[in-house]
Amino acid sequence: MTNDPAPGRGSIPGSVPAHWGLEMDMPARGAGSSVHWSVMSHDSQGSGASSRPGPQWTRTGGPSRAQSRRLDAAFPVSGAWRDGDPVGGRRFADIGALELEAGGHIPAVRMAYETWGTLNEAGDNAVLVLHALTGDSHVVGDAGNGHATAGWWSQMVGPGAPIDTDRYFVVAPNVVGGCQGSTGPSSLAPDGQPWGSHFPIITVRDQVAAEIELTRALGVRSWQFIVGASMGGLRVLEWALLGPEAGVGVESVGVIASAAQTPGDQIAWAHPQLTAIHADPKFRGGDYYDAAPGDGPHVGLGIARSIAHTTYRSAHEFDERFGRISQGGEDPMRGGRFAVQSYLDHHASKLAKRFDANSYVVLTESMLTHDLGRDRGGVNTALASITARTLVVAVDTDRLFLPAESERIARYVPGAQARLLHSDFGHDGFLIEFDQLGPIVASFLAEANRSA
Known binding-site residues for substrate equal 305, 428
**Helix boundaries (H) for 178-297:** 204-218, 231-245, 264-279
Torsion angle defined by CA atoms of residues 272, 148, 286 and 264, in that order, rounded to the nearest 10 degrees:
-30
In angstroms, the CA 36 to CA 186 distance is 44
Calculate Rg over the CA atoms of the chain: 21
Q: Is residue 44 annotated as part of the catalytic site, yes or no?
A: no
Question: CB within 8 A of 31, min separation 6: which ones?
Answer: 380, 383, 384, 411, 412, 414
Q: What are the binding residues?
A: 305, 428
Nearest to 17 by CA among 448, 444, 394: 394
Q: Which one of the listed residues 33, 68, 230, 306 is annotated catalytic?
A: 230
Q: Is residue 278 annotated as part of the catalytic site, yes or no?
A: no
In angstroms, the CA 300 to CA 67 distance is 16
Which H/E stretch holds residue 255? strand 252-256
User: Does residue 182 contact residue 206 with C-beta atoms inside 8 Å?
Assistant: no
Q: Which residues pair with 395 in a beta bridge?
A: 421
In angstroms, the CA 49 to CA 212 distance is 38
User: Does residue 172 contact residue 139 with C-beta atoms inside 8 Å?
Assistant: yes
Nearest to 213 by CA among 87, 97, 42: 97
CA terminus-to-terminus distance, the chain: 33
Q: Is residue 230 annotated as part of the catalytic site, yes or no?
A: yes
Instruction: Supply the residues annotated as catalytic.
Output: 230, 398, 427
